[in-house]
Amino acid sequence: MDVASDASAPWLIVGLGNPGPEYAMNRHNVGFMVADLLAERIGGRFKRAGKAQAQVVEGRMGPPGPANRRVVLAKPMSYMNLSGGPVNALRDFYKVPVGNVVAVHDELDIDYGTLRLKLGGGDNGHNGLKSMTKAFGADYHRVRCGIGRPPGRMQVADFVLRDFSSAERKELDWFVDRAADAVECLVLEGLERAQSTYNS
């Protein structure tokens, strides 16, 4: 598996979503929300990444000294189902091992407000993951942010492209904050510690 052999290799943390204000509060855009909060925490602002179809923030995560990690936060601007191309371009540019890529995304099969972290696996029908896996393989980390299943007979595509409900929005800040904490824990302390702390 292509995992970094030393602490100097950067981490590429990818928030998945769709660009544009009309999608900003969609369930499908929870990855963008987490990326925005992480950028705020490291004191950076997203900017266009050269030729890559993405916005990035470069910085460091963790306390000052040898324990901190170089990170690149990214939001692909290609729409969800084409995320793999921009992410792979960034991975090549920053020389990020596949095992140091983290996808933060919405997950239908987990209850709203629940987090699960894992390394590798299938895409479970998620078009952003499908595109990333096609571009560079499946051996990257995932921070899966539960949004639950659509009610009644609502189509999945309609559900994920709708804004969080008013009831869900009451918990959304807490949920996004906890997901950002989980990403930091994964990068700084490893998958097992992050899973034991945040998998619920």
Residues with catalytic roles: 28
To which H or E segment does residue 105 belong? strand 101-107
Decide if 11 contacts 108 (C-beta within 8 A): no
Which among 199, 160, 183 has a CA at the least distance from the CA of 30?
A: 160
Distance CA 150, CA 108 (A): 8
Going from the C-alpha of 101 to that of each of 3, 88, 104, 184, the distances in angstroms are 9, 10, 10, 13
Look up residue 39 and give its two tokens.
């950028």
Q: Which amino acid, 11?
A: W
Going from the C-alpha of 191 to that of each of 11, 151, 160, 175, the distances in angstroms are 13, 33, 27, 19
Which among 121, 105, 106, 132 has a CA at the least distance from the CA of 15?
A: 105
Decide if 107 contacts 59 (C-beta within 8 A): no
